[in-house]
Structure 1
Amino acid sequence: MTPHEQQFLDALASAPDTASVARSVETLLAAGGPRSPGFPAAMAEALYMHLRAVSTHPAFRAWLDVYFGRRRAAFRAPGQRPNFLYYPPLAPQAWFDTGELPELAPLQGGIAAVRDELLGLLAEAPGFVPYVEKAAERDGRWRGLADSLQWSARHLVRRGLWDDALKARLPVTAAFLAEAPLAHYPPHAPEAFVSRLLPGTELPPHHGLSNIKLTAHLPVDLPPGCGIVVDGETRTWQAGDFLVFDDSFLHSAWNRGEHPRTVLIMDIWHPGLDAEERRALGHAIAVLDQVRACTATQRDS
């Protein structure tokens, strides 16, 4: 083990917050040079111990054991296959009614005002960009939608950062989102964007990243002929209500009508997570992202 590697491991063991971990990663990267053969295993052990010290919550620690391969866990529902993070303690449930979400339900009365404000914005300056990035065309499922406005977005909050111009332009929506139980796990979330599906567009069946958050749709412009299926159950959007599902279940959507379908999409915390789990998971995701960036850089160098 080199001195720089040992310094990194020692710093990770005592790091009080994610900013300290980030500084340790930057220091290690700045040192350069090849890694010692034993460093990956030592780093995994140090990372596990660091995250274990973040919380004594039994469900969080059980997830850590699964994530680091110290405990086996099977998916609890056949249609649920998150692409990034699976949190086994959460009971599998594909669809959620607004009444089941005590943090979201009080906001239902504000849907009409948000809808009106967003319709005003879109009438003036749509500003949509492709939702599926060009790089996704390597996956045959997304080839037809990669870098296409068939499925497009106007991002209000992306990777935790507000579009300041839109925030100033949309005071009602900004206040609404400030009250919403948005999932916070920087640098990936919170996220909120206006999603538009053009006529004739069908999204291929796919899974989302994780079951720790739910996807909530707020209806903006809903023409006939649109629908969404999650875990084999088809539903449609209802004016004045949220449509909420766990996108770690297999899902797809379509617009078989004659006009664009527009909704506001936001990621909210799964209601089965308590405040301590949310805090610990937010820290863990940030740290895992920082360390992953470090190892990815080493592979590419």
Structure 2
Amino acid sequence: AERAYRQVAATQPDQVEALRFFANAALARGNPGEAVAVLSHAARVDRSNTGVLLELGLAYRSAQRLDEARSVFELILESSKGRNTTARLLMANVLEQDKRTEPALLNYFRAIIDAQSEGQWLNDATTEPGLRRLVQHAMRYVATERRKLFESVLEPLRHGIDAARLGRVDTALAVYLRDRIEPPADPRQKTTFLYIPDLGTQRFLDTASFDWLPRWSARTCSLNDEAQACLEIFAKNHDSSPFSLASMTAGGGTDAALAMVRQVPVYQRGILVDAIRDHAPALIENLDAAPLVSIPNYAPDVSILALQPGARTTPRYGRTNAFCTIVIAFSGSAPIEVTVGGDPCRLQATESLAFDPSFEFELSATGDSPALMLVFDVWNPGVSTLERDALIALTTVVVNFDARLQDLA
């Protein structure tokens, strides 16, 4: 084969396949510098040849020219709009060799997610033989480094006996990372993020556990006019959006369906919606005085929800049972039926209730007139102050990591 390629090269010095052959032969002899020179020439001849660029990046890596290797893999990713999982996998490996742990972790994880979404890297049969060892290494690296990253934010909270008090948070993290299987206490429970063990299985929580709620609810439920004003202004100026508390309303749908269930986000992922300020100043003041969950870019979620007679929200599960969801019916609201884990509870105007969102839940209007309510998250009273601090730190780092991961998509 080498003789044939040399005969080709004698008359066609720019023949790309011959150049690739000579470069791979140089690598096999332990001469990455020669391979870099040959593949650089091949890349100049055919700038769109991804195979040549991948091999050039590998040659740079073998020569320990890590910056050049990364630049080549970045070029492939840019030209493929981030879709070349092999280039991302190899770039992550270069970042790892360069001791850039977090970028390596993010790129390994992004490559795995994207490849598996296309049915690749699920097992040996769906992984190219030349990539299998590196893919297996990437999966081990992701599992190890994610665990280290998330556990590191809990370490400052481990002081003496406090370490034992974080047992439930440690278990929740292990389950989230799939290091451990811990079925919920009730098979009907399911969270989209973290399940905290040993918080009980009550669907509806005793509102006596929230000593601030009666007076706060009495002030808030009287703000019916502000709630209506928000609904009217959002109907004029905003497209309908998914209900921020676990997307309780159906996404999309017909105009008629959307008119049956209307929501106004007050806080979304911890950020106050600016348009609310001018139309609901008293409500904002009350919310500022409430012990809402506060986690950057994550919580609280607060919404005004209006249901036409007979309308109901889409059944959903919440993000974590570390939160509980409170519903307050504004004055003048029709009766509301809140169904949690299959158990219904009727809510009249000016009343409030709290439930565990790890059970499937839905809200419906059962009267002859619209139902109008405020829905928001607070901490589950069974979560200790130390656990809250740990969950805030943990959730913050997870949210930030996921945001950076999404930026690579």
**TM-score (ref. length: structure 2):** 0.58
SS at match of 1:206: coil
- 1: CA distance between counterparts of 2:405 and 2:175? 21
User: Aligned to 1:100, which of 205, 209, 214?
Assistant: 209
Coordinate RMSD, CA, aligned = 3.2
What corresponds to 2:147 in structure 1?
A: 48
Show CA shifts across 1:155-210 (max 9, x none).
11112111223224322111111122212233221111111112232334332222
- 1: CA distance between counterparts of 2:369 and 2:222? 22
Report the CA distance between 1:7 and its aligned residue: 3.8
Larger Rg: 2
8 Å contact kept, 1:207–1:250: yes
SS at match of 1:193: strand
Q: 1:123 to 1:85 in 2, by over 3 A?
A: closer
Query: Does residue 125 in structure 1 map to residue 125 in structure 2?
Result: no
SS at match of 1:39: helix
Bigger Cα displacement from structure 2, 87-96 vs 250-259: 250-259
Report the CA distance between 1:53 and its aligned residue: 2.9
Paired letter, 2:138: F
What corresponds to 1:172 in structure 2?
A: 282
Unaligned residue ranges in structure 2 (runs of 5+) = 1-91, 113-133, 159-165, 244-249
Paired letter, 1:242: S
Report the CA distance between 1:67 and its aligned residue: 2.1
Show CA shifts across 1:98-146 (max 9, x none).
2122353452342344335334x2586353753438xxxxxxx877579
Query: Does residue 272 in structure 1 map to residue 382 in structure 2?
Result: yes
8 Å contact kept, 1:114–1:176: no
- 1: CA distance between counterparts of 2:338 and 2:260? 16
Equivalent runs, 1:1-301 vs 2, <5 Å: 2-5=93-96, 7-9=99-101, 37=135, 38-55=137-154, 56=158, 57-119=166-228, 121-122=229-230, 125=233, 127=235, 129-132=239-242, 144=253, 148-220=258-330, 221-224=332-335, 226-296=336-406, 300=409
Unaligned residue ranges in structure 1 (runs of 5+) = 13-23, 134-140
Paired letter, 2:211: P
Report the CA distance between 1:48 and its aligned residue: 1.4
**TM-score (ref. length: structure 1):** 0.77
- 2: CA distance between counterparts of 1:99 and 1:88? 22
Report the CA distance between 1:296 and its aligned residue: 4.8
SS at match of 2:258: coil
Paired letter, 1:48: R
Q: 1:41 to 1:152 in 2, by over 3 A?
A: farther
How many residues align? The count is 274
Higher relative contact order (CA 8 A, sep 6+): 1
More helix by share: 2
8 Å contact kept, 1:87–1:212: yes
Q: Sequence identity, in percent?
A: 24
Q: 1:142 to 1:273 in 2, by over 3 A?
A: same
